[in-house]
């Protein structure tokens, strides 16, 4: 089965921007957490 990594391009800097853009830091850091978690499972 082929796995897909979502949220590519998120990094410390872009997460801050996403947090400010959406006015929802919890959402932004959850996206980042999911990216790191999925990357760890696949790689």
Give the mean model confidence (pLDDT) for residues 7-36: 92
- Band (pLDDT 50/70/90 cuts) for residue 30 is very high
pLDDT of res. 9 = 84
Burial of 29 (0-12, 13-18, 19+ CB in 10 A): middle
The alpha-helical segments, DSSP class H, found in 1-43 are 12-22, 25-42
Average pLDDT value for the chain? 86
Tell me: pLDDT of 38 over 90.
Answer: no
Tell me: pLDDT of 27 over 90.
Answer: yes
Q: What residue ranges do the domains of the chain occupy?
A: 12-42
Tell me: pLDDT of 24 over 90.
Answer: yes
CA separation, residue 36 to residues 21, 42 (Å)? 21, 10
């Amino acid at each position: 089965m082929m796995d897909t990594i979502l949220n590519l391009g998120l990094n410390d800097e872009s997460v801050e921007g996403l947090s400010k853009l959406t006015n929802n830091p919890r959402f932004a850091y959850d996206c980042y957490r999911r990216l790191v978690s999925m990357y760890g499972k696949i790689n």
